[in-house]
Structure 1
Amino acid sequence: MMNVAVMGYGTIGSGVVEILEQNKDIIARQTGDTVNVKYILDLREFPGTPIEKKIVHDFSVIEKDPEVSMVIETMGGLNPAYPFVKASLQAGKHVATSNKALVAAYGTELLKIAEENQVNFLFEASVGGGIPIIRPLYTSLAGEQIEEITGILNGTTNYILTKMDKAGETFEEALSKAQELGYAERNPEADVEGHDTCRKIAILTALASGHEVNYEHIYTEGITNITDVDFRYADALGTSVKLFGSSRISDQGVHAFVAPVMIGKDHPLYSVNDVYNGILVKGNMLGTSMFYGSGAGKLPTASAVVADIIEALKNPGHHVKMGWDGNRLNISAMDSVSFRYFVRIKGIAAKRLAEAEAAFGKVEVTELDHMDEFAVMTEVMTEEEYHLRAKKLSGIRQRIRAEI
């Protein structure tokens, strides 16, 4: 029997406990062993519940108990998650976490501590909710040179963009509905400004390349500037707009970004809607594989945490080689990344198209009825070239990057 402690009995933590109880026979059959939740660390009391006697308020109880061989961190944030996780690993305990902020900020250090103590620091649930993506990168795809990862990595923003696309809602209306349904926090900044997606693509890039990635060096743009008018044009063009986290990995470094991207109906991620996530991974031998599923929610995310518990249960006293080293990967400037560009311009095409062509070269024009503007789609150019050309044209109302 493996004794575990769960730190944080919120949405994900309670889901982990629920799955461990409900699927205990399945887990025992798969591993030949059982899991016992010995402690639950939380500030609250839960009188009259099945977990009442498991509640502790002092982390040192968990840290100093030699019978606890694994700690589950579902508190979120960096403090006290970071010192508690670090101390758990140093005490020779496996750790599984759903905390992408922790992994992105301190993953390099915590992976090293885990290796030094011959335990495991596991974080399947930190990216993609219930989608298996972390483990495939260091098992099934371990023999591949990963060249590119592109994904819809945030369920909240994907829900908002889907409502704007399919129901014609404004950003504010879609965000309000997401908050009502519990998909978005009261303060949605981490989601809608792209910070959550940034940390996730940093983790995937580090795992795929084997080197540390500083998420603060990744160009990040959220969805707050996307409007319902943009989706009217997208509909006319047979496209949609998705928030992408993307990285292209080469010997020279990495092009990585988070930004809204306009994609066509033939793109594999076009039909990834609502709170679902989709991730494309391109290997040098395999080609492109797609991972799809629920990107958020209590039980899907908790299921990924339980998968890490099973991984540790199958490897008692053994460190699983995975992660990345401390050699920081060079993130190339966004200026060198190439796209096509969807550009909305004040005025009517009959009078201003020549100006647009003088600035951007050959363009495709789209006009909507009863609008004092028109839109063009440029040919492929770098980000730097776009900015230089855009300076030649007045009245630009919107710019959205588009797939090549």
Structure 2
Amino acid sequence: MRTRPLKVALLGCGVVGSEVARIMTTHADDLTQRIGAPVELAGVAVRRPSKVREGIDPALITTDATALLKRGDIDIAIEVIGGIEPARTLITTAFEQGISVVSANKALLAQDGAALHAAAEAAGLDLYYEAAVAGAIPLVRPMRESLAGDKINRVMGIVNGTTNFILDKMDSTGAGYQEALDEATALGYAEADPTADVEGYDAAAKAAILAGIAFHTRVRLDDVSREGMTEVSAADFASAKRMGCTIKLLAILERAADGESVTARVHPAMIPLSHPLASVREAYNAVFVEAEAAGRLMFYGPGAGGAPTASAVLGDLVAVARNKLAEATGPGESAYTQLPVSPMGDVVTRYHISLDVADKPGVLAQVATTFAEHGVSIDTVRQQGKDGEASLVVVTHRAPDAALSGTVEALRRLDTVRGVASIMRVEGE
């Protein structure tokens, strides 16, 4: 066993970074045995050096992350700063200094993953990022290593714990969106500004990373169609229950039937209670992978939090450290297919549309004709009326998203349609 330690620079020491430092210290002997050499925390770059960080030697703290990386003795950098800058510059600097990188930065990887992978490859170094998607759940490595010989056709999952907690509370207690959000905030599941979560930005970044791995093509954040879940109402849940469904914010990545393109999207959707994702409660994450040979696989567990995310970071640290000792690198970017990402309009699925209409003869026929004119076939219709007003709930057969959008615009122009109360896709059937 090698006695000279591999030296690690920790960039960021917030909730995740502090847990990484703690585990590196308390499990030092085990990590040494698993890697084949000691790993030593050589420095911790932070913004606020005066903050007390229990269990971390104050002598390791620095505000100059660049100087830490340029010391000349660092083997591996762990980036848990988040955001685009200074994380991007620091990771690039690490590669220039011959340092392999472990990152938990989903936003940066979704935006600039191709450039970072290219820089790592050019330098003959590793870029690992298991912690960037679904926290503690082993997902990135199984998809890019264990399933490397298979063909993945579809990935559908709950990849944001905050939104799942909110939707679960709305489903199980009948609470409204704001009430459920307030509870999530009080319990620490939601940030003071929850926009990244509830508007789907966080899930979209993870979707871009997973799509790139699944389909061996480059998918950026801008390629992912995104809709938030702030408009999901108690009425939507009531309709879902009548259909034997619940509602989840889903990331859905699909290979086209002809294999010539892919789609990537994030939006709320109704899914049958019989689907495995329907039973994912609280702030847990789960991802459903459909592969040609392996069939259907489900990955489930805590998708966020200091200790769970640190677990994924440490798993990458062990893998990268082993590669360092072997003077080798692990798998890098696989983008050989160069498949185009099709727009949302090409997606084919079912829809649940709730309309407020005038309660008079001929309305249903008018609505049905509008659907037919746009090539959208109706599966079921439910109508309730009172005092000259009525609600009309239409569930369609599978149709292209563009056709459904055209239908909705035409419906809004009908004099008998007071408004389109909600539109929701139906998935997982």
> 2:11, 2:77 within 8 Å by CA — same for their partners in 1?
yes
CA distance in 2, matches of 1:40, 1:327: 39
Distance 1:107 1:228, change over 3 A: same
1:200 alignment partner, SS class: helix
Counterpart residue type for residue 198 of structure 1:
A
Q: Answer yes or no: is 1:271 the counterpart of 2:270.
A: no
Question: 1:101 and 1:329 mapped to 2: Cα distance?
Answer: 22
Paired residue for 1:24, among 4, 24, 28? 28
1:357 aligned onto 2:361: no
Per the alignment, residue 71 of structure 2 pairs with 65
Contact 1:357/1:363 (<8 A) preserved? no
Q: For 1:11 and 1:367, how far apart are their aligned partners in 2? A: 50
The 1:133–1:222 alpha-carbon spacing in structure 2 relative to 1, beyond 3 Å, is same
Alignment match of 1:185 (pick from 182, 187, 191): 191
**Superimposed CA distance per residue, residues 300-353 of structure 1 (whole angstroms, 9 cap, x where no aligned partner):** 011000011000111113221222348854111211211111111114888543
Structure 1 residue 297, shift from structure 2 partner: 0.7
Decide whether the 8 Å contact of 1:108 with 1:326 is kept in 2.
no
How far is the alpha carbon of 1:257 from its aligned partner? 1.0
Alpha-carbon distance between aligned partners in 1 of 2:422 and 2:350, rounded to the nearest angstrom: 14
Query: 1: CA distance between counterparts of 2:159 and 2:198?
Result: 12
Q: Pick from 216, 219, 223: which aligns with 2:222?
A: 216
Aligned mates of 1:263, 1:348 — CA distance in 2: 30
The worse-fitting range, judged by mean Cα deviation, of 353-362 and 141-150 is 353-362
> CA 1:307/1:368 → structure 2, altered by over 3 Å: closer, same or farther?
farther
d(CA) in 2 for partners of 1:53, 1:372:
70
1:218-233 mapped onto 2 (5 Å cutoff): 218-233=224-239
Give the root-mean-square deviation of aligned CA atoms.
2.1
Structure 1 distance, partners of 2:54, 2:378, is 68
Which 5+ residue runs of structure 2 have no aligned equivalent? 372-376, 412-416
1:149 to 121, 134, 155: 155
Name the TM-score, length of structure 2 as normaliser.
0.89
Structure 1 residue 63, shift from structure 2 partner: 1.7
Contact 1:115 1:319 in 2 (8 A): no
User: Which residue among 2, 9, 16 is the counterpart of 2:13?
Assistant: 9
1:93-130, CA deviations, whole angstroms, 9 ceiling, x for partnerless residues? 01111110111111111111111222111100000111
Q: Point out where structure 1 has 5 or more consecutive residues left out of the alignment.
A: none
- Kept in 2, the 8 Å contact 1:345–1:373? The answer is yes
Shift of residue 48, structure 1, vs aligned partner = 8.1
Match of 1:376 in 2: 394
Aligned CA distance change for structure 1 residues 48 and 168 (closer, same or farther; 3 Å): closer
- Matching residue's letter, 2:408: A
Q: CA deviation at 1:47?
A: 5.2
Indicate the SS of the match to 2:209.
helix
User: Structure 1 length as normaliser, TM-score?
Assistant: 0.94
Indicate conservation of the 8 Å contact 1:16/1:306, yes or no. yes
Residue from 314, 319, 323 that aligns with 1:311: 319
1:50 to 47, 51, 55: 55
Match of 1:140 among 139, 146, 158: 146
Q: Which amino acid aligns with 1:382?
A: P
Any conservation in 1 of the 2:216–2:338 contact (CA below 8 Å)? Answer: no
- With 343-352 and 243-252 compared, the bigger mean Cα shift is at 343-352
Letter in 2 for 1:173: E
Distance 1:349 1:380, change over 3 A: farther
Name the CA shift for 1:349/1:287 in 2 (closer, same or farther; >3 Å). farther
Find out whether 1:339 has 2:339 as its counterpart: no
Task: Describe the shift of the 1:234–1:282 C-alpha distance in structure 2 as closer, same or farther (beyond 3 A).
Answer: same
Which residue of 22, 35, 38 corresponds with 1:34? 38
Q: Secondary structure at the match of 1:143?
A: coil
Match of 1:399 in 2: 423
Q: 1:354 Cα shift?
A: 3.1
Inter-CA distance 362–327: structure 2 relative to 1 (3 Å threshold): closer
Q: Name the SS for the 1:259 alignment partner.
A: strand
Select which of 78, 100, 103 maps to 2:84. Answer: 78
Aligned AA for 1:400?
M
2:306 aligned residue (279, 288, 298):
298
Partners of 1:129 and 1:304 within 8 A in 2:
yes
Instruction: Go from structure 1 to structure 2 and tell me whether the alpha carbon gap of 1:49 and 1:183 turns closer, same or farther (over 3 Å shift).
Output: closer
1:261 aligns with 2:269: yes
- Compared with structure 1, are the counterparts of its residues 263 and 246 closer, same or farther at alpha carbon in structure 2 (3 Å cutoff)? same
Instruction: Find runs of 4+ consecutive structure 1 residues off by over 6 angstroms.
Output: 368-371
Offset of 1:232 from its aligned partner? 1.4
Kept after mapping to 2: 8 A contact 1:153/1:245: yes
In 1: Cα distance, 2:225 partner to 2:295 partner:
26
**Shift of residue 359 of structure 1?**
3.0
Query: Which residue type is aligned with residue 364 of structure 1?
Result: T
> Whole-Å Cα distance in 2 between the matches of residues 222 and 303 of structure 1?
29
Q: Which residue of 1 aligns with 2:414?
A: none
Shift of 1:198: 0.8
CA distance in 2, matches of 1:125, 1:269: 21
